[in-house]
Chain A
Amino acid sequence: MANIDIKHYDVVVKPVITEKSTLVSEFNQVVFQVAKDATKPQIKAAVEALYGVKVLAVNTMVAKGKTKRWRGQEYRRSDVKKAVVTVADGDRIDVTTSI
């Protein structure tokens, strides 16, 4: 916990709380929404620092924004980058208590 950098807060935006994310929590995995330009090593460092856990792996994905129309005009919602973080056995992240 000691070495929390202000940058870490910029990397991890918020936890994703959905049915799917609660399902993967059985495998010691936690889902976060992260900054669009965050890299896996950055995410690992940030999660380890913020939650005080040992991160075994980070998988990321970019969910492309949906194309919507408003008054006939097409526009795109912003893309979202999500990270599925696998933490070491025994370590727990309680996503419902926000940081």
Chain B
Amino acid sequence: MQIAEITNQGLRRAYSLVIPAEAIAARVETRLAEVSKTIRMPGFRPGKVPANLVKKMHGAALRGEALQDALNDGVNQVISSNGLRPATQPQVDVDGELPDDGDARFTVSLEILPTIDDVKIDDLALEKLVVPADDAAMDAALARLAESAQRTEPAPAKHKAKTGDTVVIDYEGTVDGVKFDGGTGEGMRVKIGSGQLIPGFEDQLVGAKANEQRTILVTFPEDYGAANLAGKPAEFAITVQAVEVPAETKIDDEFAKGFGLDSLDALKEILKDQLDAELGGLSRTHLKRKLLDTLASRHDFDVPVSMVDAEFDQIWQTLEAEAAREADPAAAKAEIEAEREDYRRIAVRRVRLGLLLSEIGQRGGVTVSQAEMNRLIGQEAARYAPAEQQKVVKFFQENAMAAMQLRAPLYEDKVVDYLIGKAAITERAVTREELEAAIASEDESPAGHVHGPDCEHDHDHAPAKPAKKAAAKKAKAEEPAAEAAAEPVKKAPAKKAAAKKADAEPAAEAEAPAKPKKATKKSA
């Protein structure tokens, strides 16, 4: 095997690779010997087929196989003998035609990882913003919970509905004397002043009494969801079944029992944990961002173009998908197009930080143990149906690439931990608002653009963040979920219930991923 360097430019390398005919032939022979022991052919007992016959039947395939093997070995040899650390999968081109016999010539081109000579991770000074979980926040959370759990009780017969009351109505809506789809319903609960219905609808219910009949005239707003109704005047014939007034929700043990808890203290405990986790996540996000910023400003080295391209493409795809969903896709597209350079810069930064972190991890001896790996795989598998779990575990055990992807976020987190451990950290107590503002202001995204979560943070190199956010979201979603489960029928106006279910469903799915619904989705 002859290897010669063709290009050596920056991080780019290219080599010519010649595999001599004899080497290929030798490989074919060994392969032939192996295969003919197992091959089956009518008229012969297994393994008794003469070699020349096998060669005639499968010669071409064997040669292709041998060539592939030889090529892989060659590429490995190129990498090992030159001590290269490839950034991406080497690209192999065939020079001219592949001959049926004779020497095979290839060009192997690849980009190598830059060598980072001086990693400056000493004397890191970071400021950690800590939000103390105070009673005020606690009370606010409790109040929120109470608010959403608010129940109503029937009002006295003569009571006239006022803002804040809930009215149970049957309704029949017409436009130009014609009924329209979804315009008729029974037993709808309307909370006056909640603004859930068409403007004006709720106002006209003020003063209604139980068993009263009214006619309401409203005009659908211009931007109403159904185009055939938008901007049209409509008439609703209403029968009021009942009027309910909100009942005072007292925050006491009784209230906590509504959530299946023993006492108010237990509820407070849970809320406190959630709050702490949320705040802890936020302050870590901020700290990590600071750390990455510091690292980025201290280091500057060439990064492989192909990796940047891959990263950039990923960003770009997300952006384009988002732009396509905007109200005016063309304008949104033009906007991101204008900021193309900025995104490119972000991609470079991400790749550089990613490389830097892995280098630091290597030098610092940060490793992910097999036990941790198994736990990760277990978590991943738990997201699938029980029947599939075995397969998933097997897949990750056998597929090194997939396992790497699973490993990367954990590894990065550990490196960050390692760095934070090394750094001199000063703590400063701030309020929650200040912390959130600090995180928002340090977005690496270019100014003036307001895109989704993917551009706010390094999703690739900081996967811990979305995970934390998701956790926080889940915690929030859990409240309505618990509530909906606790008292599904008794309260919650129809519309609200629907909204809540929508809220609760993702939470439930996240909590119990082995649920059949999810399972079918996955396996389908």
A22 near B53 with CB under 8 A, answer yes
A18 near B53 with CB under 8 A, answer no
Instruction: Give every chain B residue within 8 A of A21 (Cβ-Cβ).
Output: 43
| Interface membership of A67, Cβ < 8 A | no
| Interface membership of B44, Cβ < 8 A | yes
Q: Report whether over half of chain A's contact residues are helix, strand or loop; otherwise say mixed.
A: loop
What is the CA–CA distance of A87 and B56 in the complex, to the nearest angstrom? 23
| Interface membership of A3, Cβ < 8 A | no
Q: Tell me the chain A residues, 4-63 only, with Cβ under 8 Å from chain B.
A: 16-19, 21-22
Instruction: Give every chain A residue within 8 A of B53 (Cβ-Cβ).
Output: 17, 22, 96
Q: How many A-B residue pairs have CB under 8 A?
A: 14
B56 near A22 with CB under 8 A, answer no
Instruction: Give every chain B residue within 8 A of A96 (Cβ-Cβ).
Output: 53, 56
- From residue A14, how far is it (CB to closest CB) to chain B in Å? 12
Question: Smallest CB-CB separation from A18: which chain B residue?
Answer: B43
What is the CA–CA distance of A17 and B56 in the complex, to the nearest angstrom? 13
Chain B 40-55 against A: per-residue CB contact (8 Å), 1 yes, 0 no?
0001110010100100
- From residue A33, how far is it (CB to closest CB) to chain B in Å? 12
Instruction: Give every chain A residue within 8 A of B56 (Cβ-Cβ).
Output: 96
What is the CA–CA distance of A96 and B44 in the complex, to the nearest angstrom? 15
Question: Smallest CB-CB separation from B49: which chain A residue?
Answer: A19
Instruction: Give every chain A residue within 8 A of B50 (Cβ-Cβ).
Output: 22
Instruction: Give every chain B residue within 8 A of A22 (Cβ-Cβ).
Output: 50, 53
Instruction: Give every chain A residue within 8 A of B45 (Cβ-Cβ).
Output: 19
What is the CA–CA distance of A16 and B53 in the complex, to the nearest angstrom? 13
Question: Smallest CB-CB separation from A16: which chain B residue?
Answer: B43
Instruction: Give every chain A residue within 8 A of B44 (Cβ-Cβ).
Output: 18-19
Instruction: Give every chain B residue within 8 A of A16 (Cβ-Cβ).
Output: 43
What is the CA–CA distance of A20 and B43 in the complex, to the nearest angstrom? 8
Interface centre among B43, B45, B48, B53 (most CB of A within 10 A): B43
Instruction: Give every chain A residue within 8 A of B48 (Cβ-Cβ).
Output: 19
- From residue A93, how far is it (CB to closest CB) to chain B in Å? 14
What is the CA–CA distance of A16 and B42 in the complex, to the nearest angstrom? 11
Q: Tell me the chain B residues, 10-50 only, with Cβ under 8 Å from chain A.
A: 43-45, 48, 50
Question: Smallest CB-CB separation from B41: which chain A residue?
Answer: A17
What is the CA–CA distance of A96 and B41 in the complex, to the nearest angstrom? 13
Question: Smallest CB-CB separation from B52: which chain A residue?
Answer: A96
Question: Smallest CB-CB separation from A20: which chain B residue?
Answer: B43
Chain A 71-91 against B: per-residue CB contact (8 Å), 1 yes, 0 no?
000000000000000000000
What is the CA–CA distance of A21 and B56 in the complex, to the nearest angstrom? 17
Q: Tell me the chain B residues, 52-71 only, with Cβ under 8 Å from chain A.
A: 53, 56
- From residue B210, how far is it (CB to closest CB) to chain A in Å? 81
- From residue A31, how far is it (CB to closest CB) to chain B in Å? 11
Question: Smallest CB-CB separation from B45: which chain A residue?
Answer: A19
What is the CA–CA distance of A96 and B59 in the complex, to the nearest angstrom? 13
Question: Smallest CB-CB separation from A21: which chain B residue?
Answer: B43
What is the CA–CA distance of A17 and B43 in the complex, to the nearest angstrom? 7
What is the CA–CA distance of A16 and B50 in the complex, to the nearest angstrom? 15
- From residue B291, how far is it (CB to closest CB) to chain A in Å? 70
What is the CA–CA distance of A21 and B48 in the complex, to the nearest angstrom? 13
Instruction: Give every chain B residue within 8 A of A19 (Cβ-Cβ).
Output: 43-45, 48
Interface centre among A16, A19, A21 (most CB of B within 10 A): A19
- From residue A50, how far is it (CB to closest CB) to chain B in Å? 20
- From residue B32, how far is it (CB to closest CB) to chain A in Å? 15
- From residue B158, how far is it (CB to closest CB) to chain A in Å? 89
What is the CA–CA distance of A57 and B61 in the complex, to the nearest angstrom? 39
What is the CA–CA distance of A70 and B48 in the complex, to the nearest angstrom? 32
What is the CA–CA distance of A22 and B50 in the complex, to the nearest angstrom? 8
What is the CA–CA distance of A96 and B45 in the complex, to the nearest angstrom? 18
- From residue B123, how far is it (CB to closest CB) to chain A in Å? 77
What is the CA–CA distance of A55 and B117 in the complex, to the nearest angstrom? 80
What is the CA–CA distance of A19 and B50 in the complex, to the nearest angstrom? 8
What is the CA–CA distance of A21 and B44 in the complex, to the nearest angstrom? 10
Question: Smallest CB-CB separation from A17: which chain B residue?
Answer: B43
Question: Smallest CB-CB separation from A22: which chain B residue?
Answer: B50
What is the CA–CA distance of A19 and B43 in the complex, to the nearest angstrom? 6
What is the CA–CA distance of A19 and B40 in the complex, to the nearest angstrom? 12
Instruction: Give every chain B residue within 8 A of A17 (Cβ-Cβ).
Output: 43, 53
What is the CA–CA distance of A18 and B49 in the complex, to the nearest angstrom? 9
What is the CA–CA distance of A90 and B43 in the complex, to the nearest angstrom? 27
What is the CA–CA distance of A22 and B66 in the complex, to the nearest angstrom? 28
What is the CA–CA distance of A4 and B27 in the complex, to the nearest angstrom? 42
Interface set of B (CB-CB < 8 Å, partner A)? 43-45, 48, 50, 53, 56
14 pairs, CB–CB < 8 Å, chain A vs chain B? A16-B43, A17-B43, A17-B53, A18-B43, A18-B44, A19-B43, A19-B44, A19-B45, A19-B48, A21-B43, A22-B50, A22-B53, A96-B53, A96-B56
With contacts A21-B43, A22-B53, A96-B53 known, what are 11 further pairs, Cβ within 8 A? A16-B43, A17-B43, A17-B53, A18-B43, A18-B44, A19-B43, A19-B44, A19-B45, A19-B48, A22-B50, A96-B56
Q: Considering the complex of A and B, which 8 residue pairs feature the smallest CB-CB distances, nearest first? A: A18-B43, A19-B44, A96-B56, A22-B50, A19-B48, A17-B43, A19-B43, A96-B53
